[in-house]
Amino acid sequence: MTSSLSFRCTARKTVLAWILATLPFRCVAMTSSVNITSGSWPPYLEDTPSHGIIGQIIDEAFAEEGMAVRWGFFPWARSFRLAQKGIWDGSAAWACTPERAPDFYFSDAIIPVRLAFFYRRSDPIDWTTIDDLKGLRIGLSRDYHYGDTINQAIANGTLESEIARSDDINFRKLLAGRIDLFPIDVAVGRRLLARSFTQDEIARLAVHPRVVYATQLRLMLSRHVAGNEARLQQFNKGLQALRLRGRIDAIMAHAASELPYPVTLYGDEPDPAECNFAQAPESDVPAPGTGAQ
């Protein structure tokens, strides 16, 4: 009887150990919380239980250090201002820029984002330099940042631009032949197509694998909130733990499996030193929609 009981206890301990090892993050007591704003940018950030790819990574990185996250989803400009003024502790997710540095601490890079051109399969494109696309009409979404390559091509007349209120409208303009190109983060574009367009419409579009703009997205914590420098160090520590365990790769792989037609990109990569700038000038508040970029 004693031997049988010992076996059952050992088996239960083995099963429990296996369960704990497969949990996405360590079971630690939540001793404090951090308040983070964001805008909606599926699949990276969204007001759902998982909070999107980046939201999930942020949740789990803080949980590694015993901290819980309270999320507030707002329009991008409001998300920025609430964090900038220290009303909320910080905001996710943003590119590191000198203009934002006076007001924020920037985390280590969470994940990269890469913009590429979507086009109609009936009107294929190929390009090595932006001059190869001369004369084509490019659709842009209002208040988003598209990087120097696109901005300069529009300024010097290489590309003709049309601005729409949303990414959804730009995809519909592309399908209708009203524009020739639409640059968008590939994961964001594929998620939007999967959620809002028919299989026939999706099949009519393709994405060119050359990256036109790339950057790293980071968590920003306000310099105007006491204790945020220490919180950022805790976040970076938790983020590193997730990365070393392969957890971030697992989250990304799971998300990619739910997107239509997998894409292998090439071209520009985010600059690993893009946050290593000197003293920054006075901060400017960005226009709505420039978060997560």
Angstrom distance (rounded) from CA 164 to CA 223: 35
Same domain? 220 vs 167: no
Same domain? 122 vs 182: yes
pLDDT for res 72: 97
Q: Which amino acid makes up residue 95? A: A
The more confident residue out of 247 and 76 is 247
Same domain? 237 vs 193: no
Which backbone phi and psi does 34 adopt, to 5 degrees? -135, 140
Same domain? 186 vs 240: no
pLDDT for res 188: 92
Domain that residue 172 falls in: 114-214
Domain presence at residue 276:
no
The pair of three-digit structure tokens given for residue 253, joined into one six-digit string? 């792989």
Residue 219 belongs to a domain with what CATH number?
3.40.190.10
Q: With 90 as the cut, is the pLDDT of residue 284 above it?
A: no
The more confident residue out of 267 and 54 is 54
pLDDT for res 11: 40
Same domain? 242 vs 223: yes
Q: With 60 as the cut, is the pLDDT of residue 98 above it?
A: yes
Percent of the chain topping pLDDT 70: 79
Least confident of 34-38, 195-199, 264-268: 264-268
Same domain? 101 vs 243: yes
* Rounded mean pLDDT, 172-200: 95
Domain presence at residue 8:
no
pLDDT for res 261: 61
Q: Which 3-state string (H, E, C) describes the chain?
A: CHHHHHHHHHHHHHHHHHHHHCCCCCCCCCCEEEEEEECCECCCECCCCCCHHHHHHHHHHHHHCCEEEEEEECCHHHHHHHHHCCCCCEEEEECCCCCCCCCEEECCCCEEEEEEEEEECCCCCCCCCHHHHCCCEEEEECCCCCHHHHHHHHHCCCCEEEEECCHHHHHHHHHCCCCCEEEEEHHHHHHHHHHHCCHHHHHCEEEEEEEEEEEEEEEEEECCCCCHHHHHHHHHHHHHHHHHHCHHHHHHHHHHCCCCCCCCCEECCCCCCCCCCCCCCCCCCCCCCCCCC
* Rounded mean pLDDT, 3-20: 39
Same domain? 98 vs 165: no
pLDDT for res 273: 55
Q: Which amino acid makes up residue 148? A: D
Same domain? 62 vs 187: no
pLDDT for res 285: 42
Number of structural domains the chain divides into: 2
**Boundary residue ending a domain (171, 195, 214):** 214
pLDDT for res 262: 65
Per-residue pLDDT tens digits for 22-40: 344 454 555 689 999 999 8
Domain presence at residue 284:
no
Same domain? 132 vs 207: yes
Domain presence at residue 147:
yes
**Boundary residue ending a domain (177, 196, 214):** 214
Q: With 70 as the cut, is the pLDDT of residue 237 above it?
A: yes
Domain presence at residue 167:
yes
Domain presence at residue 275:
no
Same domain? 195 vs 225: no
Q: What is the pTM of this model?
A: 0.75
Same domain? 132 vs 208: yes
Burial class (CB in 10 A: 0-12, 13-18, 19+), 171: buried
* Rounded mean pLDDT, 118-137: 96
Q: With 90 as the cut, is the pLDDT of residue 165 above it?
A: no
**Boundary residue ending a domain (193, 214, 235):** 214
| Mean pLDDT (the chain, rounded) | 84
* Rounded mean pLDDT, 70-95: 94
Q: With 90 as the cut, is the pLDDT of residue 241 above it?
A: yes
Domain presence at residue 288:
no
C-alpha distance across the termini of the chain, in Å: 64
The more confident residue out of 286 and 127 is 127
Same domain? 239 vs 195: no
Angstrom distance (rounded) from CA 145 to CA 251: 26
Domain presence at residue 4:
no
